Amino acid sequence: MQTKDIAVIPGDGIGPEITQAVLRVVDAAAAKAKADINWIFVSAGLSALEEGDELIPERTMTEISRCKVALKGPCTTPVGEGFTSVNVRLRKAFNLYAAVRPVRSLPGVETRYKDVDIVIIRENTEGLYSGVENEITPGVVMSMKVASEVACQRISSWAFKFANRRERKKVTMLHKANIMKLTDGLFLRCADEVHKNDYPNLGFESVIIDAGCMKLVQDPTQFDVLLLENLYGDVISDLCAGLVGGLGVVPGANYGDNEAVFEAVHGSAPDIAGQNLANPLALLMSAVMMLNYLAETEEESSFGRCSKLIKTAYDAALIAGETTKDLGGSLGTAEFADVLITRMAAL
Ligand code: NAI
């Protein structure tokens, strides 16, 4: 049995409580599937600052780099206080250029739509997240949107390769190239070229993002893989979460060429922090994505067995209505984890 070190950042707000719940579930699955996982706890965000450390301590960077894989709880970025977001820093430091967010209808979760199955692929390093903001003159500020051919080409290739490997039918790019002719125009041209040159077998369409939003809320089942620049990807991820049950059920992964960081789409939810109310499912689903990634990259089947056990348990719990309050149930964060552990024991 191979031992895998995985860096864990519990994060801020609801981060520590959902992380604890998720690790309990993964540990129970690992024990049953005979997968050997060694959690390496590191800190980042407000909690790191409160411990007298930097926003992202050096040890955190070293451990992510050594483990290559990290599971991350949400981190708070105070608004208007000159803080660089932990997420933006991590994504840039490890060049985690591809954010992947699967948005799927879940069994037992009642929503307006059935059969939603969209994968959002977000360019994670450029756009308005370049963090280049200037005061030109008092009362006039600007923010720079950056797009480079290298990054647009890289994420386009990544998205089509992903779509092809997963036997998806179509990639839709949501953009505003009619207004941002240079930046979004470059991204659109790169996606178009990758499609024509390398993946003509797949469908490709480009939709102006405002119309795309309307189409998404009218009939999300018409979309398959969505390709977006950084800010659009951020906004559309939350919109799509709303189509399948909310932020408690949408996981995410940030991939670079060497490291991968798995985290939920949602933030640190300070409004419900410390009350045992948060749904740990989105982070748990991110952990399942991580286990599947390990099963592929480490070629260790125990990680795959582990992910199947967890998925089987949460699908059954959702169908039985054993959920947290955001999904209409009555379970607390910890009790939801207990239910999954009991269900896995019986599998
Ligand atoms: P948020 O995602 O934390 O919360 C939005 C709403 O969804 C809130 O009403 C919250 O209670 C609810 N919610 C979120 N996650 C939930 C869960 N697991 N279970 C049940 N309800 C849940 O977004 P908000 O309030 O805009 O941001 C709060 C903080 O989180 C900010 O500091 C922001 O910068 C940070 N953030 C961090 C992210 C990360 O670390 N990946 C991502 C997004 C935001």
Residue nearest (by alpha carbon) to ligand 1 atom 13: 269
Catalytic (active site) residue 198? no
**Position with higher pLDDT, 331 vs 3:** 331
**E-strand stretches of 95-149:** 98-104, 117-123, 133-137, 140-143
- State if residue 331 touches ligand 1 by the CB under 6 angstroms criterion: no
Burial (CB < 10 A; 0-12, 13-18, 19+), residue 262, is: buried
Q: Are strands 225-228 and 117-123 parallel, antiparallel or unpaired?
A: parallel
pTM: 0.96
Residue nearest (by alpha carbon) to ligand 1 atom 6: 269
User: Does CATH place domain 112-244 in 3.40.718.10?
Assistant: yes
pLDDT at 82: 67
Closest CA to 148 of 123, 171, 172, 131: 123
Span from the CA of 68 to the centroid of ligand 1 (angstroms)? 26
Closest CA to 284 of 257, 252, 316: 252
pLDDT at 272: 97
**What do you get for the CA distance between the two ends of the chain, in Å?**
21
Q: What single-letter DSSP state applies at residue 167?
A: T
Cβ contact 91:125 at 8 Å? yes
Tell me where in the chain the CATH 3.40.718.10 domain(s) lie: 1-100+249-347, 112-244
The CATH number that domain 1-100+249-347 falls under is 3.40.718.10
Residue 127: pLDDT over 80? yes
Residue 293: pLDDT over 80? yes
pLDDT at 2: 67
- State if residue 332 touches ligand 1 by the CB under 6 angstroms criterion: no
- State if residue 21 touches ligand 1 by the CB under 6 angstroms criterion: no
Residues 52-86: tens digit of each pLDDT: 998 899 999 999 999 999 999 999 887 776 677 89
Q: Which of 97, 129, 232, 255 is catalytic?
A: 129
Please report, rounded to a whole number, the percentage of residues in the chain having pLDDT higher than 70. Answer: 98
Cβ contact 322:331 at 8 Å? yes
How large is the average pLDDT for residues 3-28?
Answer: 97
pLDDT confidence bin for 113, thresholds 50/70/90:
very high
Residue nearest (by alpha carbon) to ligand 1 atom 41: 74
Catalytic (active site) residue 234? yes
- State if residue 87 touches ligand 1 by the CB under 6 angstroms criterion: yes
Residues 193-245: tens digit of each pLDDT: 999 999 999 999 999 999 999 999 999 999 999 999 999 999 999 999 999 99
Instruction: Please provide the average confidence, as pLDDT, over all residues in the chain.
Output: 95
Residue 115: pLDDT over 80? yes
Helix (H, G, I), strand (E, B) or coil at 29: helix
Burial (CB < 10 A; 0-12, 13-18, 19+), residue 40, is: middle
pLDDT at 205: 98
Q: Which of 176, 215, 308, 325 is catalytic?
A: 176
Q: Which of 97, 232, 234, 255 is catalytic?
A: 234
Span from the CA of 35 to the centroid of ligand 1 (angstroms)? 31
pLDDT at 345: 96
Catalytic (active site) residue 68? no
pLDDT confidence bin for 1, thresholds 50/70/90:
low
Span from the CA of 164 to the centroid of ligand 1 (angstroms)? 32
Long-range CB contact pairs, 208-214, < 8 A, 24+: 208/174, 208/175, 208/176, 208/177, 208/178, 209/174, 209/175, 209/176, 209/236, 210/176, 212/172, 212/174, 212/236, 213/239
Q: How far apart are CA 161 and CA 301, in angstroms?
A: 23
Choice among 74-83, 118-127, 137-146, 281-290 with the minimum mean pLDDT:
74-83
Residue nearest (by alpha carbon) to ligand 1 atom 43: 267
Residue nearest (by alpha carbon) to ligand 1 atom 44: 267
Catalytic (active site) residue 232? no
